[in-house]
Homo-oligomer: A and B are copies of this chain.
């Protein structure tokens, strides 16, 4: 199997596969013409990677699972290192979800207060046309989400 076929098979792109190879995550054998050659085993490894990526794991975090499969285990999470990653990820998820819920409450409270203030200043008359429609596309905000921890710079 060559790179294009593997990419199609796994629902990803050739660029991505070369990227994984550059990271040492999914190295490929080469044919006589220099083309990358993959087999079914590689497809399994790749599927494992994509599954974890879809969960939001970083690439490096998928490495123990890939190593585990390559070591001959039937599933990528049969090794202790993989379980460790699961546990760390769970803790991280709990932490992040918790923080987001706090933020959600705070923002919700701000909104409620601000709306109250607004109706308080706008007596009975329903005549508030201060701001016009800015023409936002509503489908767009599905991009990425960040939570501010600390910056990643050197010393602070």
Contact = CB atoms under 8 A, between A and B. Distances in A.
Interface of A: 53-56, 58, 75, 77-83, 86-90, 92-97, 100-101, 103-104, 106-108, 110-111, 114-115, 117-118, 121, 128, 130-131, 134, 141-150, 152
Contacts of A93: 100, 103-104, 107
5 contacts: A75-B114, A78-B117, A81-B131, A83-B115, A96-B145
Contacts of A111: 77, 83, 86-87, 90
B134 A81 contact: yes
A1 to B, nearest CB: 23
A114 B78 contact: yes
* Stoichiometry (number of copies): 2
Q: Is the interface of A mostly helix, strand, loop or mixed?
A: helix
Contacts of A89: 107
Contacts of A142: 95, 149-150
A130 B80 contact: yes
Nearest to A16: B151
Contacts of A134: 81
Contact of A55 (B56, B58, B106, B121): B106
A56 B101 contact: no
Contacts of A106: 55
